[in-house]
Structure 1
Amino acid sequence: MRIPVLNIRQFHQEKHLNEVYVNDLSQHLELNRDLIDKPHSHDFYLCVLFLAGYGVHEIDFKTYPISPGSIFFLKPGQTHFWNFETRPEGFIFFHSQSFYELYFLGHGLSFFPFYCSLQNPPLLKAPPEIINSLAKKFEETALEFTGNGMLREMKILNLINGIYIELTRCYTSHTDLDKSFSPGYSALLTRLEALIEKHFREEKLPQFYANRLNITTKHLNRVVKTTINKTTSELISERVVLEAKRMMVHSPVDLSEVAYALEFSDYAYFSKFFKAKTGSTPSAFQRLYR
């Protein structure tokens, strides 16, 4: 089984707004049950607010609790799956990168900390005092999506941008903004993650990425350490391990094929690498997860 990659057009038949989708969460889950009842990923950005309900949300093999006030953010390509204990309520919206960035030319989606880096947590627990105001903003966006007013797309876009601004303020309320939002460092981290995403199979050493960014390996490590408190090698290894896990769980290939696809010299080397990074052999992880 290969994990499905869902597209916005699979969720609705709206002729004039095919790059954005907004809905009441309960209705969304009911209408799209067949699409989302198993692990999947998307080719769009997603934001969901829970106003009621409990359960867990698995994102790229990490499990996060769902409770009232939970807000999740997903970037394209991330694998996720819901498991609800009680009926959830709230709102959900998602959109393509172009839907947002064609209008807001001054900044991209990576400007927001929850989309800036996959290293940043995909979960925000909103404080009780702002949940009602957030819910009203999400509800207004959903109502605009189902209406037919003039300049509807522009209004939806501005509402989503306003939500992102409020969520950024909440997300960074206990963060050293001078460190986390250094424009130069944030831009380099974004470029580094894009390069790793493109080359992690064949290039596993920091020197390659430093050369592509036209900086020294020492400076690249300084950027990564300052922004997310990791090394460049750790970032590369984590992406390789994540891909290995995705293949082992969601693809019909044997473990030697996983090693080959990730360009390890042989399975023994891959197994040693995987165990050093996760504490488990590939076969043990595969058995446990399945």
Structure 2
Amino acid sequence: MIENLAEFYERIGRSDLAAEAYIKDKPYFTVQDSACRIGHVSFSYRDFYKVALVLETGKLYYADKWIMIDRPALMFSNPMIPYAWEAMGNAKGRGCFCIFNEAFIEASEKMGTLADTPLFNLSKERIYFLNDDVLKSVTEIFDKMRRELQTDYSQKLDILRCYVHLMVHEAMKAAPTSTYVPHKNAAQRIAELFLALLDRQFPIEWPKKILRLKSATDFADRLSIHVNHLNRVVKATTGRTTSDLINSRIAQEGVQLLQHSRLSISEIAYSLGFEELSSFSNFIKKRTGSSPTELREVAG
């Protein structure tokens, strides 16, 4: 299961999701107070990024481990890592979080300045316990984010990105050295290279740039490893199969092109590696529940 922003807001009992959050290729960023609840939050992927200041007691579950949160902590989550939360005791919804979509992140951040941070590096710690000084700094950053969101400044998204950068580094700087010194085993490194290679193929720019790597075998060949080894390490690292990650990303790009480009459906199909229009139609229908024509009609 992949939870989107609308489903997340529904789960936490909020009805104030801004209209721009429904537009995948439009940057979206917001800050909210936490809404922790007793019991389990379903173990699933999310299609958005989240940085949360956790002030409640609870258990955070990942695919292969769990951790007890029993003191102030900063949690980083991204679409590649599924997790679940179990609030403990008398949860009162203390704390806060910021959430943002893929479009909010600039390519230079994902592949450069933030590449080796908890937001994008799968081998990094995702929970950072905070001392009093760092807790104060992080709380002040969230307050500044809230104030900036209320301004009419045309470049406020750039300021908000800077605040995200600052929060990441506040957490990493205060952490024990062993938690943020690069330490990658071969499996993690391969998985990260695969994900980076997958991401670099997009966005598609017809006709100059069309999809070249379309299968697990294509990626394995490019990485000079056996496809079975690639499949094993990707599954172990992300919890998803190589093919599922590839197909999800292709489908995401297909939907964006159908709804926000002037390319014909045939041109979109070819640019995404489908030689037959019927194959593309079946693929999109299977992944989204709607045909390419229906998705284009929805976009008007």
TM-score range, shorter chain: 0.5 to 0.7
Map residues 176-187 of structure 1 onto 2, 5 A cutoff: 177=181, 180=183
Give CA deviations for 1:158-191 in whole Å, capped at 9, x if unaligned: 21122122223234633574x549xxxx986621
Q: 1:273 matched to which residue of 2?
A: none
CA offset at residue 136 of structure 1? 0.7
Say which of 142, 155, 160 aligns to 2:159: 155
Structure 2 residue 212 is the aligned partner of structure 1 residue 212: no
CA offset at residue 137 of structure 1? 0.8
Structure 2 residue 25 is the aligned partner of structure 1 residue 25: no
Map residues 82-97 of structure 1 onto 2, 5 A cutoff: 82-85=85-88, 86-97=91-102
Q: Residue 47 of structure 1 contacts residue 72 of structure 1 at CA under 8 Å; is this kept in 2?
A: yes
May I ask how many residue pairs the two structures share in their alignment? 209
Give CA deviations for 1:208-234 in whole Å, capped at 9, x if unaligned: 8664224x78xxxxxxxxxxxxx9787
Q: 1:67 matched to which residue of 2?
A: 70
CA distance, structure 1, for counterparts of residue 110 and residue 191 of structure 2 = 20
Map residues 262-273 of structure 1 onto 2, 5 A cutoff: none
CA distance, structure 2, for counterparts of residue 103 and residue 9 of structure 1 = 29
Say which of 121, 125, 140 aligns to 1:121: 125
Corresponding letter in the other structure for 2:29: Y
Q: 1:54 matched to which residue of 2?
A: 57
CA offset at residue 102 of structure 1? 4.7
Corresponding letter in the other structure for 1:115: F
Q: 1:112 matched to which residue of 2?
A: 117
Alpha-carbon distance change, 172 to 112 in structure 1, aligned in 2, over 3 angstroms: farther
CA distance, structure 2, for counterparts of residue 39 and residue 160 of structure 1 = 25
The DSSP-based 3-state class of the residue aligned with 2:105 is helix
Q: 1:145 matched to which residue of 2?
A: 149
CA distance, structure 2, for counterparts of residue 88 and residue 105 of structure 1 = 31
Q: 2:208 matched to which residue of 1?
A: none
Structure 2 residue 236 is the aligned partner of structure 1 residue 238: yes
CA distance, structure 1, for counterparts of residue 32 and residue 8 of structure 2 = 17
Q: 1:42 matched to which residue of 2?
A: 46
Corresponding letter in the other structure for 2:162: N
The DSSP-based 3-state class of the residue aligned with 1:110 is coil
Alpha-carbon distance change, 105 to 42 in structure 1, aligned in 2, over 3 angstroms: closer
Provide TM-score, normalisation by structure 1: 0.56
CA offset at residue 239 of structure 1? 4.6
Q: Which runs of 5+ in 1 are unaligned?
A: 218-230, 245-290
The DSSP-based 3-state class of the residue aligned with 1:174 is helix
Alpha-carbon distance change, 20 to 169 in structure 1, aligned in 2, over 3 angstroms: farther
Structure 2 residue 81 is the aligned partner of structure 1 residue 81: no
More helix by share: 1
Alpha-carbon RMSD across the aligned residues, in angstroms, is 4.2
Alpha-carbon distance change, 24 to 80 in structure 1, aligned in 2, over 3 angstroms: same
Corresponding letter in the other structure for 1:132: K
Map residues 181-196 of structure 1 onto 2, 5 A cutoff: 190-193=192-195
Give CA deviations for 1:50-94 in whole Å, capped at 9, x if unaligned: 1x2211122336322223321111121433222212224222112
Q: Residue 5 of structure 1 contacts residue 42 of structure 1 at CA under 8 Å; is this kept in 2?
A: yes
Q: 1:169 matched to which residue of 2?
A: 173
Identity across matched positions, percent: 13
CA offset at residue 7 of structure 1? 3.4
Structure 2 residue 106 is the aligned partner of structure 1 residue 101: yes
Structure 2 residue 129 is the aligned partner of structure 1 residue 131: no
CA distance, structure 2, for counterparts of residue 116 and residue 237 of structure 1 = 16
CA offset at residue 48 of structure 1? 0.7
Q: Residue 8 of structure 1 contacts residue 44 of structure 1 at CA under 8 Å; is this kept in 2?
A: no
CA distance, structure 1, for counterparts of residue 52 and residue 110 of structure 2 = 25
Alpha-carbon distance change, 108 to 188 in structure 1, aligned in 2, over 3 angstroms: farther
Provide TM-score, normalisation by structure 2: 0.54
The DSSP-based 3-state class of the residue aligned with 2:104 is helix
Alpha-carbon distance change, 171 to 43 in structure 1, aligned in 2, over 3 angstroms: farther
CA distance, structure 1, for counterparts of residue 83 and residue 72 of structure 2 = 19
